Amino acid sequence: MFTLGRKVSLTYRTNQIILSLSLIYGIICYILTTDIAQSAVAAGSLFLSWALVREIDCRREYAAFVAVGIYMILQLLFPFPFHISLGLIFLMILLMRAINQITGKPLSVIDLLSLIGLSGYLTYTTESSVYLMLVILMLLVNVRLNKNGQRNIYLALMVTAMTVVISLLTPLNLDINRLAIEPLALFYYISLLVYFIYILIDKDKESVTDLGGPASVRRLLYAQLFYGLAQVVLIIFGDMSIGNRLVFISSMLGVVIYGVIDQYKKNK
């Protein structure tokens, strides 16, 4: 059974807001570009940037809207349209759900095979094995969290074997990138550093699962740590587009900014 899916109920006001924003944003992009495909991608990126932050900070739902606002502001600084990989963002969301298990259901074999399949597809289409590295990283994190760590090790070996097979079918790139020093890259590094500091000092992580039970605070923290480590992997080995960098920067800043504001209000 696939357990990593989450329903987007139209009865929740926050869901209504983000769906409306995404639709309006897509229409505006179409007016500006007259490209329906680019407009659909733009609308999808806005929605996925919101969904991504909902996995990073499961407690504070409005942190996702702060991230969306930052994402839209950052886009004003760069020419549109720009390339963005929705598959990478979607994979990141599923990998975090596999760790935090916010759905309230234990991770199944079908979940793991689906993640391996999606990462394999992205690897084959982009000729970059960094996606499979992210899956391996998720499995290693789950080794520390699960009692069935041996199964995760076997799956990690399966991913490694898949990488070898795909590399025989198509040339794969896994080069170590030179550390970029352009303004956007420096802003990215600073955002990542601030993010790491924040999640380590933030003690207010309690949340509930989709089934109404208490979520594991340990799993929520490990999912946040995974997200930061995944950014490091992408910086070193990935070939990220401007669009993906903007999504990841806004997600980290949205979590930090709203979290600090929330803590300030509580202390006040």
Size of the chain, expressed as the number of residues it contains: 268
Note the pLDDT of residue 262.
Answer: 87
The confidence score (pLDDT) of residue 8 equals 73
d(CA 103, CA 180): 37
Summarize pLDDT for 23-44 with one digit per residue, the tens: 999 998 888 888 888 889 889 9
pLDDT at 206: 87
CA distance 109 to 90: 19
Check residue 165 and give its pLDDT: 62
Residues 6+ apart with CB under 8 A from 142: 98, 99, 107, 149, 152
pTM of the model: 0.89
- What pLDDT sits at residue 264? 84
pLDDT of residue 87: 92
pLDDT of residue 161: 66
Low-confidence ranges of the chain (pLDDT < 50): none
